[in-house]
Structure 1
Amino acid sequence: MIRDRGNKKWVSLMLPEHVKMLKDMSVDLKRRDKPILDEYQIQEFEERLKYAQKFKLPVEFSIYEHGFIKEIVGRIIKMDSLEKKIKIKAINDNIEYVDFNQITNVQIKD
């Protein structure tokens, strides 16, 4: 049985630009299209957000950013319906602003 090092053997012969390009390609392959939400899902998200804000409950947001889904958990400080933005105080005490159009899922945490 032949045991070689696979790609490690060839990486030393590659230019740094090629290695960077291969890493970028692997990141691009993991990108996803933005999920399409119907109006019932959007209405459900709005109801959950209002409920969580009223009772000061923590909320887990799934947010679409540049082809990836990012998770943020925190409490809603303010919802701006004109700008369609939500101000959140995350668990790590950072203040985050979320555009409502970026939200793909909302779950109330207990």
Structure 2
Amino acid sequence: MTLRDRGTMKWTSIFLPEHVAELRRLKSEIDHAYVRNPAIDPEQWSDFESKIQYAYRTGMDCEIRYWRNWTAERVSGVIESVDPVGGSLRIDGVIVPFREIVWVALEDV
């Protein structure tokens, strides 16, 4: 005689239809609460690179929005350093990897 496990089937009989509906509703709310990471096309990234280089060389203030932990964060100030090998920059004490950047804007003085 072999022992046969029913897998997840053994747990589904415990849930009432109301429980299943509530779990689906909660999952839907959670999925909609977090915005998906926006895709950056190569042309837009080229524009970001130009603005980052200009701001770094001139010491101009800029605003960088980046994607971290399922939320969009924002930091403004002068770019302190750029690490092309490590793929990150430091602005206002915050290290931002290039892959997390979703928006760059130069601030008018």
Report the TM-score, using the length of structure 2 for normalisation: 0.69
Partner letter of residue 55 of structure 2? A
- Provide the residue aligned with 1:29 in structure 2: 32
User: For 1:54-110, what per-residue CA distance to the aligned partner results, in whole angstroms no more than 9, with x for missing partners?
Assistant: 110111111111211111111101100000010112xxxxx1100000000000011
Aligned to 2:22: none
Corresponding letter in the other structure for 2:91: I
The count of corresponding residues between Structure 1 and Structure 2 is: 83
Q: Which residue of 2 aligns with 1:84?
A: 87
> Which residue of the partner structure matches residue 60 of structure 1?
63
Residue 47 of structure 1 aligns to a residue in which SS?
Answer: helix
RMSD between aligned residues: 1.8
Q: 2:50 aligns with which of 41, 47, 52?
A: 47
Equivalent position SS for 1:36: coil
SS in structure 2 of the partner of residue 37 of structure 1: coil
**Unaligned ranges ≥5, structure 2:** 1-25
TM-score by length of 1: 0.68
- What percent identity do the matched residue pairs reach? 23
Higher CA-based Rg: 2
